[in-house]
Every structure is written in C-alpha cells, then in structure tokens.
Amino acid sequence: MLVAGASLSLLAPVVAQASDVVNLEEMNSYTRSKTNSSKLDSKTFINEVSEDIANLKGRVDGLEVKQNEFEAGGFSDTTTLDGKVVMGLMATDHSKVKTDGTDDLAAAYQYTMNLNTSFTGDDNLYVRLRSGNSVGNFVNKTFGTYLVMGSGYADALTVDKIWYTFPVGENNTVWVGPKIENYYMHGTTPSIYKPVTKQFTLGGNGDAYGASTDSGFGWAYKADNGFAVSSNVVSKQNGAAHGFLTNDARTSWATQAGYTTDRWSVSAIVNQKYNGWTDGYYESLQHTPSSGVTNFTAVGLRAWWRPVETGTAMPSVSLGYDTTAHDGAPDASDNSTAWFAGLSWQDMIQADDRIGIAFGQPTTNEDENNEPFAYEAYYEFKANDSVTITPTVFGGSDRNGTAGDDIFGAVLQTTFKF
C-alpha cells in the first residue's frame, strides 16, 4: 500500500502536465463531431495550401513591382557597359624647334565608356562616351606623335561616337549614325598590328584609310567563305554653309573588297574624297596638294599574316601600300605614295604580353626631295587581367617633309579596363 500510494503521488503531476499540453477531452469531442465522410485524406488540406500559394504569389508579385521601380533608373537588360582609362607620360625631342612641336614632358589621360544596346538580339545601338585632356605632342599629326590615347576634350565628357547597326538577311550589315567613321563599316580588317601612335592604325592611317568622325552610313556583305565587300559614305556637316552630302560638303566615299582566313587576309580599298576633305595621321607636310585642288582618289592595298602558334620567333606581319591621285594638280605633284610594315610577337616573355615594331614612309608627293620615315617600338605586358603597362619609343626622320626635321619620343602608358 505504501508503494502504491507513493507511485500515485509521483504520477499525478505528470498526468496533469500531459493534460495541459494535449487536451484529450477536446480531441475526443473533435472526433465525435466528425462523420465518417470527413476522414483525413490527400484532399483535406488542398484549400489551405491553395490559399498559402496565392498569398505567396502575391508577395512575389509585390517584390517584382518594387524591383522594377528600383531598376527604372538603371540600364535595360539588353544594355552592356565596358570602359577603360589610359594614362600616359610622354617626352619628345625635336631636332629643330617648332611652334607646333616644342619639346616637353607631359602627362595626359583618356577615359572611355562603351554602351551597347540591342532591341532585337541582332541589332546594336552603339554609344561611346569619352573624355581626356591631351594637348601638344599627344595630338600632333605633323610629326606623327599623335597617340591612339590622344583625346583633346578638355576634361569634358563627350558623346564621341554614336551609330545604329542592323542585319539584312544572313550576310548583310547596315550602319547609320550621326557620329561614325568609314573604317568602322568595312567588311575586312585591313591590319592586325596594334599601334601606340595613331599614324600606324589600319596599316597606315593616310589617304586611303584616313577618316573623320561625321555623319554617315554604310553596308557590308560577308560571305561564309571569307569574302567581303563594303561601301560607306561619311560627310562633314559645317553648319548652315554646308549640309550632308551636298555639293559643297566634304565627303569620303570608301569601297573595300577583301578575303580573310584564320591566318591571313588581303584587301583593297578605293576612297574618293571631295571638296577639300582633310584627314590622315600618316602624312608629311609637303603632301598638301596645290591650292584649288580639292578632290582626290586614294587606292590602298593591305595584307596580314599570323603564325599558327604564338610565343615563337616568327611574328605576325601587317603590310600596307597607298597611292593617291589628285584631280587637277600639276604633273609634278598629282600623285603621292605611302607604305607601312608592322610586326607583332605575342606571349614571348610572359603570357598575354606583346612586342610591336612598326615603320614606313608617310604619304609623300612624288616631287618631294626628301623621303620621310616613321617608326615605333613597344613592349606591352599585363600586370593583371585588368591592368596593362606599355613603354614605347617612337620617332622619324624628315618626318614633316623637311630635311633634318627629325623627332624622337618616348611614352609610358598604363591602361585600366573595367
């Protein structure tokens, strides 16, 4: 009896707690209140789950609305942005003191943002925003010291390029824009040499490929077998005096044909320039034709080749040759020529590095007594995936067409890509 009493006294509080946690009487009444047709099965909680899903969907929709409101001031899903900053420190030494080529040591920068937007998946609206503070020798064409990084925008952020391109059929592409240059609309890449001074772009940036940022349009056909043909027009608009493609407007009409494989390419271009069109970074001072001569036709031949493997003694080679006929000029100065050679070695000292050497004769009239010569040599190496450092030397003899007017320079560039 004593043991039974003690056991009951111990069990009593446990039973009391259990009755507090699980109300057995309520469970019994719930069971009695249900009929046999209300047994628990797979459909018992369908209504409750549906309500929960509906509530959850409403919350998700609300979050999407807030996200759209947040993104309203940002880029669309079809717009991409990339950019770079180039900083340069350059020094020059002229053999003669010139007002347009004084010797100095100067620093400058170029800041670029590229915006690409597609509306159909195949078209593209391109906008290039650029700023810079290049002056003096950084942007001097006369002696060939104009750098690719040169931008004389006085620190103002400017719409530097803007055009729209779209496909027509399987093999045709059309460009149109208020700020575009001829060479962006060519079907064949004329040169694979990557220059530091702008005179060596496009296999010699003279009469045949020299361009200017103006209003224009163009078309290119690229066959599946590597053949391409293109034609484009760019016209300088000079306020009220001249209009787009009028008889007084300065115009460049370039037509190119070429063939490209994985390892080599050849191309030819005919560029007709009217009404005093001026351009070219690869020219000598005496190349300026006689007064009153405003139209000329330039023919440019280009070719490039690259080896199967990089990191060997065999470089890639880019070659160029231009000849120009000036309408109505005296026989002694109605023709001019230019030539270019560019060599590149990649992955020589470390992965992704590049050694470049370019040289040639800037555009020169046949009656000139001097033969201008220009050159550059650089080593480009990557500090990391986003930073590239490029020390360069460049120069030329009789560079502006005057005997003894030589130039030597050096520049250290650092490029940040993002």
Q: Give me the pLDDT at residue 306, please.
A: 97
What is the reported pTM? Answer: 0.80
Give yes or no: residues 70 and 103 share one domain. no
- What CATH number is associated with residue 161? 2.40.160.10
Give yes or no: residues 49 and 180 share one domain. no
Alpha-carbon distance values, 380 to 305, 388, 415 (Å): 20, 7, 10
- For 327-384, what is each residue's pLDDT tens digit? 877 776 788 999 999 999 999 999 999 999 999 999 998 767 788 999 999 999 999 9
Give yes or no: residues 89 and 59 share one domain. no
Give yes or no: residues 20 and 114 share one domain. no
CB–CB of 404/95 below 8 Å?
A: yes
For 61, the domain range is 43-74
- For 201-251, what is each residue's pLDDT tens digit? 999 999 999 998 999 999 999 999 999 999 999 998 755 556 777 777 889
Cα–Cα distance, 155 to 134 (Å, whole number)? 9
Give yes or no: residues 244 and 193 share one domain. yes
Give yes or no: residues 115 and 17 share one domain. no
What value does the mean pLDDT of the chain take? 84
Residue, of 151 and 166, whose pLDDT is higher: 166
- For 172-183, what is each residue's pLDDT tens digit? 999 999 999 999
Give yes or no: residues 56 and 26 share one domain. no
> Among 74, 95, 129, where does a domain finish?
74
Cα–Cα distance, 52 to 72 (Å, whole number)? 30
Give yes or no: residues 3 and 129 share one domain. no
Give yes or no: residues 52 and 195 share one domain. no
Please spell the DSSP secondary structure of 305-351, one letter per residue. E--SSSSSSPPEEEEEEEEEEETT--GGGSEEEEEEEEEEEESSSST
Going by pLDDT thresholds of 50, 70 and 90, the confidence category of residue 160 is very high
Q: What is the mean pLDDT of residues 29-45?
A: 45
Give yes or no: residues 232 and 368 share one domain. yes
Of 7-16, 310-319, 337-346, the one with minimum mean pLDDT is 7-16
Going by pLDDT thresholds of 50, 70 and 90, the confidence category of residue 60 is low
Give yes or no: residues 54 and 99 share one domain. no
Task: Give how many domains the chain has, as a whole number.
Answer: 3
Look up residue 63 and give its two tokens: 């979050």
Alpha-carbon distance values, 310 to 259, 318, 345 (Å): 23, 16, 7
Look up residue 27 and give its two tokens: 């469970």
> Among 74, 95, 126, where does a domain finish?
74
CB–CB of 320/190 below 8 Å?
A: yes
Give yes or no: residues 242 and 195 share one domain. yes
Q: Give me the pLDDT at residue 9, please.
A: 46
